[in-house]
Amino acid sequence: MIQFTVWKSRDQYRGFESAGHAGYAAMDEDDIICAAVSALTINAVNSISCFTEDAYELEQAEDGGFLRIYFPEEPGEKVSLLMDSLVLGIRNIEADYGNEYITLRVEEV
């Protein structure tokens, strides 16, 4: 299962972490849930890098299955919009496929 955690402080995003594998597909098939989450998270990170000036710390596993981004300072409006979009996409995947494969948590930090 993918555990997707979003960190917020007083309604401001502080970062997110995606950990694990969905386990949706059989061993010899591509996992569409993992692929969708990867596309959303990588696009969010690339968009934050390309379209904002906000500082961030990034950590990821080489073999996939783990990605964490943290904003050491309060992010700007563009990051907030990109994060809102990411969370919307993850919520939709969770709603469509169920929390057997992915769970989204929002934690106050």
**How confident is the model over 9-68, as pLDDT tens digits?**
999 999 999 999 999 998 778 899 999 999 999 999 999 999 999 999 999 998 889 999
Higher pLDDT, residue 63 or 95: 95
Per-residue pLDDT, 26: 82
pLDDT for res 57: 98
Burial 90-106 (b: 16+ CB within 10 A, else e): beebbeeeeeebbebee
Which pLDDT value is given to residue 24? 95
**CATH number of 2-108, picked from 3.30.1060.10, 3.30.70.1490, 1.10.10.10, 3.90.700.10:** 3.30.70.1490
pLDDT score of 29: 84
- Interval 100-109 mean pLDDT: 97
pLDDT of residue 63: 82
pTM: 0.94
Residues in CB range of 63: below 8 A, 6 or more apart: none
